Amino acid sequence: MKHITTILTLQIFILTLSGCGYTADVSPSQNTELKKVTPSQNCKKSHNCEKKGYMQRALDEWLEEEWTPTVEKDEAIQKKYMEVKTIKKADKEEKVLIEKKDRDFTLQEYVDKASAYMKAHPADHENSHVKKVESLPVIGK
């Protein structure tokens, strides 16, 4: 009797563990609208996972169009974090500033670049979000 209960317990245990190891490649829901919002785990095949969201696109555009050109113009940043490389094109030689690739990114680098950006784009207190929030009426007073 003891032998039968041991075997039965072992079979239940094995059945439980083997059931937990199964992962489905499809979404458990048949709702197509839900699949658009939360696609299945097989995300590489889905076109929804490759698209960037609005905030990511806006950040990428801001980095390319505003942050990088502004920071690269600062002479202190050029001396400290960039190196001059010559590129030969047809009959001309161009000197181009490129970020040094053999170094690690540090918090000091971000602080230096942020201060260079803030120096080029000073804050306007009259149109700032702080001024707008402070002008809102306080609820309950």
Tokens of 80: 């400290």
Q: In this model, does residue 41 exceed pLDDT 60?
A: no
Q: In this model, does residue 61 exceed pLDDT 90?
A: yes
| Distance (Å, whole) CA 124 – CA 96 | 33
Residue 64: band (very low, low, confident or very high) from pLDDT cuts 50, 70, 90 = very high
Average pLDDT, stretch 90-119? 86
* 1-29 pLDDT, tens digit each: 778 888 888 788 787 777 655 555 555 66
Helix (H) or strand (E) holding 136: none
Q: Mapping DSSP to helix (H, G, I), strand (E, B) and coil, where does residue 98 land? A: strand
| Distance (Å, whole) CA 7 – CA 31 | 42
Domain boundaries, the chain: 54-121
Residue 97: band (very low, low, confident or very high) from pLDDT cuts 50, 70, 90 = confident
DSSP 62-83: HIIIIIHHHHHH-HHHHHHHEE
Q: For strand 82-89 and strand 92-99, is the pairing parallel, antiparallel, or unpaired? A: antiparallel
Helix (H) or strand (E) holding 17: helix 2-20
pTM: 0.51
